[in-house]
Amino acid sequence: MEGEERVEFKPIPARDLLVEILSTSELMIDLAYASALFNDEDLAQNVVELSEKVDRLCHQLAMIIAIAARDKEDAEAMLGLWVLASNSDKMSDAATDVAYTVLRGLGIPRIASEAFEEVEERIGRYNLNENSILVGKTPKELALEGKIGVDIIALRRGEEWIFNPSDVVLAPKDLLLVRGDRESLSAFRSIASGELNEFKVPQLPPLREEEAKTPEEKLGSMLADLVDLAKLSVDLAHSSFLYFNPDIAREVEKLELLVDLLHTDLELEAIKTGREKGIPEKKVLGLLRLALAAENITDAARSIAEVVLGGVRPHPIVEQVMRETADTVFMVEVKEGSKVTGLSLGDLNLEEMGLRIIAVKRGERWIYKPTPSFVLKEGDIVVVSGYKEGRENFEKMVFSKIKEA
């Protein structure tokens, strides 16, 4: 088509391409919802440009797979590689849809923005004060993932956005885009402003219970649940693929069905609330687009899980790549005599390791997003997501046994 860039073959290792596709598509999901949260058109435009990059990378990978697949065995070995990459591309497309919601001026209701206050893993935006202990250091040097459980995913310096700035020296007036949970971002806000000179995560009061919410707040909570479940489905799909675990893959299928139902409920609630509260139609449409993107992300996760259920084992390249992305997903079983037996998740200080428990399997039952008061028992299989720096510490904790007197 006229005006489009011609795709030419480049001899880039498949491993490198897949690493870039996975990390970029994951980053795009965070950036897209951040652009909606802050109504930031510049950030949304960057998401669109990153989508074009992912498209080019997927075209390159497709050509490499076509060249490498010389027979039936090669084709079967490469199938998982392509499914993982192509569905990451679908996730990037969903993120782009969110970005276009911002660029087309649809906007979202105020309550939808407030909903992101309830998302388990959220995005914060903070200006760096000259008195902050972060100034003059790189994110890699600071290792904030293991200290307070946050990750600087992007920064804006002047008019330029820098993504994945692990080696960039932080300077006063930098605008930092940070990923983490509620408590971790509260700590980062104080550190970035110069108010706090130590890496300490505060204990915040719990959010209001569901029964205390207005219809508009309930609508916002439904959106927050969809975004949480979409990210959860991606984590579980990757975990099922890496460990070739049909049990987790089946749970991804159930999640996808749940998201379908919740999405329908949200659509009906949005129409009803919009009509009763006089919310402009364009803003209701913007809200629906954000919800649809979450469902599309979950659909892509299910496609990955279906490969596992179809009996296709991951290519060795895939296993290596999954361990080299910024985040990691891993499974640990609580063995007899483990030190963590009888401890609650809150006792483990996971946020300081940059980790969160995605789910726990107890017997034949999966518990999604267990609360801090959830107590671990012998035989529990724990699915963990987060930063690589915290994985080794967590595994040591779980595998350590109680010393007998």
What CATH number was assigned to the domain covering residues 122-193? 3.30.70.1450
Tokens 């440009």 belong to 49
DSSP label at 125? E
**E strand or H helix at 176, and its extent?**
strand 175-180
Tokens 């983490």 belong to 180
AA identity, residue 224: A
What CATH number was assigned to the domain covering residues 14-109+216-319? 1.20.58.220
Q: Does the domain formed by 326-399 have CATH 3.30.70.1450?
A: yes
CA distance 394 to 354: 10
pLDDT at 370: 78
Q: In the sheet that 327-333 helps form, which strands lie side by side, from edge to edge?
A: 327-333, 381-387, 355-362, 365-368
Q: How confident is the model at residue 81 (pLDDT cuts 50, 70, 90)?
A: confident
Percent of the chain exceeding pLDDT 90 equals: 40
Domain ranges of the chain: 14-109+216-319, 122-193, 326-399
Instruction: Determine whether 9 is exposed, middle or buried from the number of CB atoms within 10 Å of its CB (0-12, 13-18, 19+).
Output: exposed
CA distance 121 to 232: 10
CA angle 264-260-23, nearest 5°?
125
Give the mean model confidence (pLDDT) for residues 350-377. 82
Q: Express each pLDDT in 16-32 by its tens digit.
A: 888 888 889 989 998 99
User: Would you say residue 365 has pLDDT above 80?
Assistant: no
pLDDT at 70: 76
Tokens describing residue 189: 């806000």
pLDDT at 214: 76
pLDDT at 244: 82
Q: How confident is the model at residue 402 (pLDDT cuts 50, 70, 90)?
A: low
Q: How confident is the model at residue 404 (pLDDT cuts 50, 70, 90)?
A: very low
AA identity, residue 35: S
Q: In the sheet that 175-180 helps form, which strands lie side by side, from edge to edge?
A: 122-127, 175-180, 151-157, 160-163
User: Would you say residue 72 has pLDDT above 70?
Assistant: yes
Q: How confident is the model at residue 48 (pLDDT cuts 50, 70, 90)?
A: very high
DSSP label at 288? H
CA distance 205 to 54: 40
Contacts of 131 (CB under 8 A, 6+ apart): 194
Provide the mean pLDDT of the chain. 85
pLDDT at 324: 64
Which is more confident, 320 or 75?
A: 75
CA distance 236 to 301: 8
CA distance 176 to 157: 9
Neighbours of 163 (CB within 10 A): 15
Which is more confident, 43 or 235?
A: 43
CA distance 20 to 282: 35
Q: Express each pLDDT in 172-220 by its tens digit.
A: 999 999 988 778 888 999 999 999 999 887 666 655 554 556 777 788 8
Going by C-alpha positions, the residue among 30, 148, 165 that lies closest to residue 390 is 148
Going by C-alpha positions, the residue among 375, 299, 294 that lies closest to residue 341 is 375
CB-hemisphere CA count at 13 Å for 151?
21
- Return the bridge partners of 331, or none: 383
pLDDT at 97: 96
CB-hemisphere CA count at 13 Å for 160?
3
Q: How confident is the model at residue 120 (pLDDT cuts 50, 70, 90)?
A: low
Domains 122-193 and 326-399 share a fold: yes
Tokens describing residue 288: 């629906």
User: Would you say residue 171 has pLDDT above 50?
Assistant: yes
pLDDT at 150: 86
